[in-house]
Structure 1
Amino acid sequence: MSHTTQVVVIGGGRAGLAAGYHLRRLGLEFVILDAQAAPGGAWQHAWDSLRLFSPAAYSSLPGRLMPAQTGQTYPDVQHVVQYLTDYEKRYELPVERPLRVLRVHRDGQLLRVETDSGPWHAHSVISATGTWWRPFLPAVPGQAAFGGRQLHTVDYRSPADFARQRVIVVGGGNSGAQIAADLACDTDLTWVTQRPPRFLADDIDGRVLFDVATARLRALEEGRTDTGGVASLGDIVAVPLVREARDAGRLKAAPMFVCLDRYGVVWADGMRAPADAIIWCTGFRPALSHLEPLGLRGVRGHIATEGTRAMDEPRVHLLGYGDWTGPASATLIGVGRPAREAAREIAEQNP
C-alpha cells in the first residue's frame, strides 16, 4: 500500500525531530520514518560513559529546554535518550518505526520513498540519517593478518569488555580521547593519533564551540576573513573524564603506526606493540546510500547544497550532517536553525 504526504523526513534522531517540530509549526503534513525500534536515534547505541560536551540547557532542540540531570553538569547518554523520547511525545510527532528507507526515486511531480514496508510519495524529502550508521575504517596494511579483535567506535560499550587486555585506541578526536580515557585504568592502553592531540582549553565546551562556528558562518557570509572556526581552537573537548586522565598522565599519545601484523601494530622504526584489541575511532561518513538513485553526488562523492537544499534536486534537503548542511548542525543545539530554514523553504515550495 502506498502513502502520500507533503514531506517525508528520513531519520528519527535529533535532526529528524527538529525538522518535525518546525514542519508541525508551519502546518505541513509530514511523516518521520525511523529505522530504529525505539526513540533516541544513535544515542541509544553509544558507549556507556559518553557525555555531552555542553550543559543540558545548551544542548536543547527547538521549543523545549533539556532538563538538567541531577548530579551531572554534562548529561549522560540515557538522559539524552529520555529527552529525545519525551520531545517526540510532547510534540506528537508522527514517527513510523521500525521502518527502513531503501531508496528515493523521482516519480513525476513527486518523490517515491521506498521502504521495507512499502512506498511513500512526497513533494519534499528531508534526509536526516546522520553518520553513525556509516563508520569509516582507514585502509592500513596488515589489517587482515591481525589475530585480535578490531572494533570501531560504534562497537565500543564499556571498559569491562577489555579488562586487563592490551588495547590500542586509534584516533585523535573526541571519540578517541574519550574512549582512551575510559580504558586508561583497566587496560594496558596505547593511544595512537595521526598528529599530536590538541586539547581545547578546559573552559571551552559545546556552548563556546557553537558560538565560534556561528561566528565563522557569519564572517564568511559577509565576506570577512575566515576565522578558522572550531578547528582553530583544537580537536578535543576536555570533558571531566578526559581532563582527569590527561592530568594524571594517562593520555599520552603515540604516533600513527605503519602496519599491523598477526600480533599487533608496527611503527616505521620497527617498534611493535602487541594487542588483544584495536578500537578504530576514525570517524564517520554521511549515511546517504538511500539517495543514490537521484544521482546527486559529484566527482568526489559530495552532494552540492545551498543551505540544506540539494542543488541538483530542490525537493531534497539534507539536515544534520555537519557544517556543510548548517553550522554545528550535527549537534543538538546546532540543528534547530537549519531545520527551521529547511521547513520554511519547503513551505514556500508547497503553498
Structure 2
Amino acid sequence: MQRFVLVIGAGQAGLAAGYHLARAGASFLIVDGASRVGDSWRARYDSLTLFTPRQFSALPGLNLDGNRELYPGRDEFAGYLERYASHFEFPIRLNTRVVRLCKDDGVFNATLDDGSEIRASEVIVATGGFQQALTPAVAGQFGSGVLQLTTQTYRNPHQLPEGPVLIVGDGASGRDIAAEAAQSQSTILSTGKPRRLFPERAFGKSVWWWLNVSGVLRAPAESWIGNKLKQSDAFPDRSRSFSALAGLGIRIAPRLSGASGSEARLADGTSAAIRTVIWAVGYRDDNRWIDIPGAMAADGSVLQRGGISPAPGMFFVGRPWQRNRASALVMGAGPDASHVVASLLHERKRPRARSSG
C-alpha cells in the first residue's frame, strides 16, 4: 500500500506531528473523537491556565498572540489550537474515535466507532498522558450524600452545594481548585507527597526562560538532572504555596486515610464532615483499544523510548517524560514530534530495523 501515516489525537501533540509530517511531504490524516480541535482543553475546569507563559506555549510555525510574559487561559489556548490546524490546513477528521488498533500483514488497521476502518503504514498515537482522572478506592467509603467530582468533571464553584469541600491532591490542579472553592465554601486541601514550587520569575525573567536557556528542560529522563526533576515534580508557585492558600482560609491537611458516610478521616487522626470531595490525585491511561503485539507492557502501559515503540511503525507524541521534562509541556510537543517524524522516515528506509516483539 501507499505510505500513509495515521495520527490519533488532534491536541497539541497530534498537531505538532502534523506540522512535521507536512514539512516532510508525508501523506497523513489526523483523527480525533471531539467535535472541535481544542476540545480536550475546553473540557477542563474554567479557570485553568497553562503552566508556561505565552512565549513558551506555542507550537512550531505559529506564534501565540498576547503578552509573552503572561499565561494563556484554557479557552484561549483551545482557540489557538483550532487556528493552528486551520492555518496549516491539516487533513483532520473530527468526531472520529478509534476503538481498536491492530496490525495485519504489516499494515495498521484502525477500527472507528462507526464501524469503518482506516488502514495506515505507520501510526502516531498522540492521545496524551492525561486521559482519565483517577478516583481512588477510598471514594467508595463516602456515602451517597457526598458529591464526588474529579479534575475532569469539576468546572467552577457554582457546581458545589453548600457545605465543606475536601480537595484530595495538592498538585497544581488541586491547589487551583482549592483556591476557587474557598471563595464560597469551607475548604480542606488534603496533601500527599512533598512537592516543590519554584518562583515565577528570577532576575527579571520568567523562570521558564532560565530553565530553557540552561538546557534543564531538555535533560534526558534517565539523566541525573532528569531524575531529580521527576522526584521533585516541581511546578510554578503563582500564589499557590501552602502559606498563600492558608491565607485564603484553606485548611492544609495531611493525607486522606479513610471515610465513612460524610466523614473524612485524615492521617493525623482528625476528621471532618464533608459535603463535596474533588479528586485531584492524577490520571491514568486507557490503552485498551491498542491491540498491537509488543506495544504494551504487562501492566497496560505503553512501551516507548523517545516516542519510538518496539512495535515497528508505531510512534508516540505527548507522553510525559517521553524524552525530557518539556515533553509534558506544550513547548516540548514540537521538538518531540520532530524527533518522532525523523525516526519514522528513517525507519521507512530500514523497515526491519526494529523487532516486532
Equivalent residue in structure 2 for 1:152, among 150, 157, 160 = 150
Identity %: 28
Contact 1:169 1:279 in 2 (8 A): yes
Contact 1:4 1:121 in 2 (8 A): no
Match in the other structure for 1:38 = 36
The structure-2 alpha-carbon separation of the partners of 1:269 and 1:19, relative to structure 1 and needing over 3 Å to count, comes to: closer
Deviation at 1:291, TM superposition (A): 1.2
User: Aligned residues, how many?
Assistant: 343
Alpha-carbon distance between aligned partners in 1 of 2:56 and 2:283, rounded to the nearest angstrom: 24
Contact 1:200 1:234 in 2 (8 A): no
Contact 2:163 2:275 in 1 (8 A): yes
Moved more, 241-250 or 105-114: 241-250
Match in the other structure for 2:23 = 25
Deviation at 1:290, TM superposition (A): 2.1
Match in the other structure for 1:216 = 219
Match in the other structure for 1:62 = 60
Alpha-carbon distance between aligned partners in 2 of 1:12 and 1:194, rounded to the nearest angstrom: 33
The structure-2 alpha-carbon separation of the partners of 1:10 and 1:28, relative to structure 1 and needing over 3 Å to count, comes to: same
Deviation at 1:132, TM superposition (A): 3.7
The structure-2 alpha-carbon separation of the partners of 1:195 and 1:346, relative to structure 1 and needing over 3 Å to count, comes to: closer
Alpha-carbon distance between aligned partners in 2 of 1:7 and 1:17, rounded to the nearest angstrom: 13
**Which deviations, in whole Å up to 9, do the C-alpha atoms of 1:11-31 show, x marking residues without a partner?**
011100000000000000000
Deviation at 1:266, TM superposition (A): 1.3
The structure-2 alpha-carbon separation of the partners of 1:244 and 1:50, relative to structure 1 and needing over 3 Å to count, comes to: farther
Where in structure 1 are there 5+ consecutive unaligned residues? Answer: none
Match in the other structure for 2:172 = 174
Match in the other structure for 1:94 = 91
Match in the other structure for 1:189 = 187
The structure-2 alpha-carbon separation of the partners of 1:157 and 1:262, relative to structure 1 and needing over 3 Å to count, comes to: same
Alpha-carbon distance between aligned partners in 2 of 1:334 and 1:229, rounded to the nearest angstrom: 19
Match in the other structure for 1:334 = 332
Alpha-carbon distance between aligned partners in 2 of 1:135 and 1:65, rounded to the nearest angstrom: 31
Deviation at 1:167, TM superposition (A): 0.6
Q: How does 1:134-283 map to 2 (within 5 A)?
A: 134-140=132-138, 142-143=140-141, 145=143, 147-162=145-160, 164-203=162-201, 206-208=208-210, 213-217=216-220, 220=223, 225-226=224-225, 228-231=227-230, 235-240=234-239, 245-246=244-245, 248-268=247-267, 270-283=269-282
- Name the aligned partner's letter for residue 304 of structure 2: T
Deviation at 1:40, TM superposition (A): 0.4
Contact 1:245 1:251 in 2 (8 A): no
SS class of match (1:191): strand
- Name the aligned partner's letter for residue 259 of structure 1: G
The structure-2 alpha-carbon separation of the partners of 1:163 and 1:208, relative to structure 1 and needing over 3 Å to count, comes to: farther
Alpha-carbon distance between aligned partners in 2 of 1:143 and 1:212, rounded to the nearest angstrom: 46
Match in the other structure for 1:131 = 129
Moved more, 333-342 or 206-215: 206-215
Contact 2:122 2:313 in 1 (8 A): yes
The structure-2 alpha-carbon separation of the partners of 1:121 and 1:285, relative to structure 1 and needing over 3 Å to count, comes to: same
Q: TM-score scaled by structure 1? A: 0.88
SS class of match (1:339): helix
SS class of match (2:327): coil
Match in the other structure for 1:300 = 299
Deviation at 1:328, TM superposition (A): 2.2
The answer on 1:81 being equivalent to 2:84 is: no
**Which deviations, in whole Å up to 9, do the C-alpha atoms of 1:22-43 show, x marking residues without a partner?**
0000000000010000110411
**Which deviations, in whole Å up to 9, do the C-alpha atoms of 1:211-262 show, x marking residues without a partner?**
6653432983xxxx44644346553421257799437354552001211111
**Runs of 4+ residues over 6 Å off in structure 1:** 241-244
RMSD between aligned alpha carbons?
2.7
**Which deviations, in whole Å up to 9, do the C-alpha atoms of 1:125-178 show, x marking residues without a partner?**
000111343222222275354531111100111112226431100102111111
Alpha-carbon distance between aligned partners in 2 of 1:343 and 1:278, rounded to the nearest angstrom: 43
